[in-house]
Amino acid sequence: MSTLASPGFWAFVGVVAGIFTIFALGLQLQFGFTGLLNFGQVAFMAIGAYTMAILVVTVEMPMWAAAPIAIAVAAAFGLLIGLPTLRLRADYLAIVTIAFGEIVRYIALNQHDLTGGPQGSVNIGSPETPASYNDDWLAFQGKVQDALSSVFGNVSKDTAMLAIVWTVAIVLIVVLQKLVKAPWGRVLRSIREDEDASSALGKNVFSYKLQSLAVGAALGAIAGLFFAFQFSVFSPADFDPLTTFFAYTIVILGGTAKMWAVPVGAIVFGVIFAGTRFFDFPPFSYFDSGERAYLRLIIIGLILIGLMAFRPQGIFGKREEMVLE
Amino acid sequence: MSELLQLIANGLVTGSIIAIAAIGLSLVYGILKIVNFAHGEYLTFGAYMAFFVNVTLGAPMVVAVLFAMASTALMGILLEFVLWRPMRGRGAGLMSLFIVAIGLALVLRHIIFLVWGPSPRQYDVDVFQVYDLGPIRLSLSQIVAIAIAFGAIVLVGLMLARTRLGKAMRALADNRELAAVTGIDIDRVVAYTWLLGAALAGLGGVLLGLVQSSFNPNMGFTLLLPIFAAVVLGGVGSAYGALVGGIALGLVMEVSTWAALAGGVASVYKSVVAFAVLILTLLFRPQGVFGKARYV
B280 in a structural domain:
no
How big is the A-B interface in CB pairs under 8 Å? 122
Q: Which of B35, B271, B279 sits opposite A91 (nearest CB)?
A: B35
Measured between CA atoms, how close is B273 to chain A, in angstroms? 9
Q: Is the pLDDT of residue A79 over 50?
A: yes
- Indicate the number of domains in chain B: 1
B111 in a structural domain:
yes
Per-residue confidence (pLDDT) for residue A47, from 0 to 100 = 97
Q: Which of A95, A107, A323 sits opposite B278 (nearest CB)?
A: A95
More confident residue, A5 or B146: B146
- What share of chain B has pLDDT > 90, as a percent? 49
- Indicate the number of domains in chain A: 1
Q: Which of A99, A295, A324 sits opposite B278 (nearest CB)?
A: A99
SS3 B60: coil
User: Is B83 in the A-facing interface, judged by CB distances under 8 Å?
Assistant: yes
Measured between CA atoms, how close is A142 to chain B, in angstroms? 39
Q: What is the ipTM of this complex?
A: 0.90
Per-residue confidence (pLDDT) for residue A265, from 0 to 100 = 93
Query: B247-250 long-range contacts, Cβ below 8 Å, gap at least 24?
Result: B247/B12, B247/B15, B247/B16, B247/B18, B247/B19, B248/B15, B249/B15, B249/B18, B249/B274, B249/B277, B250/B11, B250/B12, B250/B13, B250/B14, B250/B15, B250/B16, B250/B17, B250/B18, B250/B19
A307 in a structural domain:
no
A149 in a structural domain:
yes
Q: Is the pLDDT of residue B292 over 80?
A: no
Domain extent, residue A28, equals 11-239
User: Is B96 in the A-facing interface, judged by CB distances under 8 Å?
Assistant: yes
Per-residue confidence (pLDDT) for residue A325, from 0 to 100 = 47
Q: B107 vs A298: CB contact, 8 Å cut-off?
A: yes
Q: A324 vs B92: CB contact, 8 Å cut-off?
A: yes
Q: Is the pLDDT of residue B295 over 50?
A: no
The model's pLDDT over A138-152, given as tens digits with 9 standing for 90+, comes to 999 999 999 999 888
The model's pLDDT over A106-115, given as tens digits with 9 standing for 90+, comes to 999 998 888 9
Taking CA–CA distances from A312, the nearest residue in chain B reads: B96
- At residue B171 the predicted structure's pLDDT band, cuts being 50, 70 and 90, is confident
Per-residue confidence (pLDDT) for residue A286, from 0 to 100 = 73
Lowest mean pLDDT segment, chosen from A111-125, A173-187, A311-325, B127-141: A311-325
Q: B94 vs A325: CB contact, 8 Å cut-off?
A: yes
CB A256 within 8 A of CB A247: no
B168 in a structural domain:
yes
Q: Which amino acid is at B177?
A: E
B163 in a structural domain:
yes
Per-residue confidence (pLDDT) for residue B37, from 0 to 100 = 93
Measured between CA atoms, how close is A97 to chain B, in angstroms? 9
Domain extent, residue B166, equals 2-222
A179 in a structural domain:
yes
Cα separation, A205 vs A198, in Å, equals 7
- Average pLDDT score, chain B: 89
The model's pLDDT over A188-197, given as tens digits with 9 standing for 90+, comes to 999 888 888 8
B47 in a structural domain:
yes
B240 in a structural domain:
no
B204 in a structural domain:
yes
Give the global pTM.
Answer: 0.90
- Average pLDDT score, chain A: 89
Q: Which of residues 175-214 of B touch A (CB under 8 A)?
A: none
User: Is B275 in the A-facing interface, judged by CB distances under 8 Å?
Assistant: yes
User: Is B265 in the A-facing interface, judged by CB distances under 8 Å?
Assistant: no
Q: B268 vs A297: CB contact, 8 Å cut-off?
A: no
Other beta carbons within 10 Å of A118: 13
